[in-house]
Amino acid sequence: MTVLTSDARPVEAEAARRRSIAVISHPDAGKSTLTEALALHAHAIDEAGAVHGKGNRAGVVSDWLEMEQKRGISITSAALQFAYGDVVINLLDTPGHADFSEDTYRVLTAVDAAVMLLDSAKGLEPQTLKLFEVCRRRGVPVITFVNKWDRPGREALELCDELEERINLRPTPLSWPIGEAGRFLGLLDRASGEVRTYKRAPGGASIAEEKLLTPQAAADTLGDDHTEAVESVQLLDELDRESFLAGTTTPLLFGAALANIGVKQLLDAVVELAPAPGARPDVDGGARDVDQSFSGFVFKMQAGMDPNHRDHVAFIRVCSGRFERGMVVTHERTGRPFATKYALSVFGRERQTVEDAYPGDVVGLVNASTLAVGDTVFDAAGPHVRFPPMPVFAPEHFAAARSADPGRSKQFRKGISQLEQEGVVQVLVSEARGDGNPILGAVGPLQFEVATFRMEHEFSAPIRTEQLGLSLAREAAPEHIDTIAAYPGVEVVRRGDGTPLVLLRDVWHARAFERAHPDVPLIPLVASAV
């Protein structure tokens, strides 16, 4: 869906009406469902779908990869852009599964706020905790939405206590449920005291029918349940936007995404509270103001969005200035000019040509084969800029890969190279094995499944993988490589940037080596730019 803008508006005005947000949570908390519900309430789609589809309903628009639709999980981030009133929302749905954390972490570099989704029955889960810590370190403010209140779950005040006790984030409710989880009678608006009751649409395919009650009418109709809700919400602090932006409080809302309940209130909160794009720090310690000439960075590469074409798309977060289709930009890493003739506005898998874009927007550049995740691009006529690199995480799983058909070695090499460029897996090469038998490194084993699937279906180069009994990667100085390579059970490889890495079985294996060679340091890998 292309969002039209006016040439008469200056860049600062266009940036001010942008909101760029990510939806983060543990797997199965309902991220993709909430993404669709938000698009539905903004009238960007006519009917919500479900991952596996029911009747004539389509699949979730943000889960467009075949593997996602078959397994019912998000394994890659998806970008959606739509208008809500006069505000343009750039919404990034992210994978919840821990095996795809790297993709989510990269997305968090491209947004200005996040919606943290909690399952009403489970509260804060391990992956949610990890993602929240990334938000905190990056200074990304968080709005919290407690989902699935139409199902049995925990008490609302208990969930609030957990937020404060476990992550030191003080909840400031904007809405409050009437009735316990599983007996959802309505939502209390804290500011006005009004109550919305809901009648769920069949299958949750459309917006739930709602009825607005005055405080007195709600008290008369809902009785003790209303009284309890009013008394409970008064125990908690009221909204303070400054502390929200500082990351010490979180606006809190309740609802049920599958039933499309409470979603409009969340949209309104995003518009009113989430910050608009601002000055972006560069590697030199300065900041790129939104009204400077065009600049942006690649936070994601994705292939296979269009099964009829073997293209791949570079997703760029616009940081400053106005992007115009066809403009010539400079690829900062190579210093070479890059034409932007094929520029897209994306809506899940759907794409339309975009003529211009502004700070906060996400632009897809087609067939940008020279670009890679983390690259900076800027207006060729403007000043040089380079934004901080993307985080690279230490892999914990390793598998040796080889082509299942030796006659397709060319396709094998091309596919492996593209998967590395997109950040699907890390590709490590050892002199002993050669580049025809690379080692794939991953944060989680499901990444190998994705790589195997895509190698066969996109590149017609089926691969065989052999899981290695290694789980630890360390960096080493080049002068120590021969000593390290002679140690039993160690595999020495080189990363794509030329950095030598040492792969070991586990931490005890590493400690045994360090005792045997105290003068040869093994340096832990640390994620950069997080």
Residue list for the binding site: 93-97
Strand-pair category, 142-147 with 249-254:
parallel
If you search the block for the tokens 């940036």, which residue do you land on? 15
Binding site listing for GTP: 93-97
Classify burial at 285, counting beta carbons within 10 Å of its beta carbon; exposed 0-12, middle 13-18, buried 19 or more.
exposed
**Residue 321, CB-side half-sphere exposure with 13 Å CA sphere:** 19
Separation between Cα atoms, residue 31 and residue 43, nearest integer Å: 18
Separation between Cα atoms, residue 107 and residue 95, nearest integer Å: 10
Paired tokens of 381: 């006529």
279-281-285-286 Cα dihedral, nearest 10 degrees = -30
Paired tokens of 173: 């409710």
Closest CA to 72 of 62, 87, 57, 83: 62
CA pseudo-torsion sign 436, 437, 441, 442? positive
Separation between Cα atoms, residue 6 and residue 400, nearest integer Å: 52
Contact status, residue 116 vs residue 24, Cβ threshold 8 Å: yes
**Residue 182, CB-side half-sphere exposure with 13 Å CA sphere:** 5
Alpha helices in 250-332 (DSSP H): 263-273
Separation between Cα atoms, residue 399 and residue 446, nearest integer Å: 12
